Amino acid sequence: MIHQESECLFCRIVRGEIPAKIVYRNDHVLAFRDITPVAPHHVLIIPLRHIASLSDLSPEDEAVAAQILLAAGTVAGILGFKESGYRLVFNSGPDAMQSVFHIHGHLLGGTQMGWPPFPGAATKHG
């Protein structure tokens, strides 16, 4: 696991050191296509500034957190599935299988999805 900003894969994409299929960028966030898509449209929305995971968000990050959510609707509009629907998923930590430690929302669209999103979804805690 790489947590340092200089080595962070997604920071390198932000800096243009690693190519990516960018679909949207503003002063706060970048959205680019996931390299291993699990839906017809699978876009990662990341803050330009390095923040490792949802658990590392602090109150000072309120604006950038909101920008990620706002970008989801914007990108859904750009890609044409704002009306048909989409899902925004954040994996945080080992149980959720987070593999890149720079916050990213997986924006999934372009298909009918199921719920719950994973097998064996028995409720343990109500």
Catalytic positions are: 104
Q: Is 1 in the site for ligand DGP (CB under 6 A)?
A: no
Contact (CB, 8 A) for 44 and 104? yes
Please list every residue from 44 through 103 that binds ligand DGP, using CB under 6 A. 44, 91, 97-100
Cα angle at 125 between 95 and 112, to 5 degrees?
65
Q: Which two tokens stand for residue 23?
A: 């679909």
The contact mask relative to ligand DGP for 11-50 (x = CB under 6 A, - = no) is: -------x-x-----------xxxxx-------x------
Report CA Rg, the chain: 15
Q: Which is nearer to ligand DGP, 14 or 20 (CB)?
A: 20
Total of chain residues touching ligand DGP, rule CB under 6 A: 14
Q: Is 111 in the site for ligand DGP (CB under 6 A)?
A: no
Residue that the structure tokens 């080595």 belong to: 7
How distant is the alpha carbon of residue 19 from its chain centre? 17
Q: Which is nearer to ligand DGP, 41 or 123 (CB)?
A: 41
Q: Is 9 in the site for ligand DGP (CB under 6 A)?
A: yes
| Dihedral sign, Cα of residue 83, residue 90, residue 11, residue 109 | negative
User: Would you tell me which residues interact with ligand DGP (CB under 6 A)?
Assistant: 9, 18, 20, 32-36, 44, 91, 97-100
